[in-house]
Amino acid sequence: MRAAQADAGRTRRRLDAARLQPGRENADAKARRYLAEGRLQVLEAGPAVVRATCRGDGHVYRLGWWHGRWGCTCPAVTERCCHLLALRLVVVER
């Protein structure tokens, strides 16, 4: 009986702690935050090339548009990294 009550108490505390932790920030929100914090620096913007740096959480990444595609030196495996999203917000016409 006591073991079941102790397990129930631990489970309840874990669930309460999970509810108190904020959700993970998505890439779009992080991109906008990076812009608001001044972390993006556009070095060059032209019709064939865009070069920039972005200070991420702990590292500075090189990113831009070259050779007909977007790229970033961060470890993300998609073109939807927060650094590229921030850059596209300021250089891509809508």
Side chain identity, residue 20: L
Q: How many residues are given for the chain?
A: 94
Q: Check residues 59 and 78 and name the one with the higher pLDDT.
A: 59
pLDDT band at 10 (very low <50, low <70, confident <90, very high): low
The token duo for 74 is 């961060």
- 77 is a domain residue: yes
15 lies in some domain: no
- In this structure, is residue 43 part of a structural domain? yes
Domain residue limits at 51? 25-91
Q: How many Cβ atoms sit within 10 Å of the Cβ of residue 35?
A: 16
Could you tell me the pTM of the whole model? Answer: 0.72
Q: Is residue 5 part of a domain?
A: no
CA pair distance 73, 77, nearest whole angstrom: 10
Asked whether residue 7 is assigned to any structural domain, the reply reads: no
Within-domain flag for 17: no
pLDDT digits (tens, 9 = 90+) for 31-71: 999 999 999 999 999 989 999 999 998 899 999 999 999 99
Looking at the 3D structure of the chain, how many domains does it have?
A: 1
Say how far residue 85 (Cα) sits from the centre of its chain.
9
* Domain annotation covers residue 16: no
Q: For residue 87, give the H/E element and its range.
A: helix 82-91
Would residue 12 count as lying in a domain? no
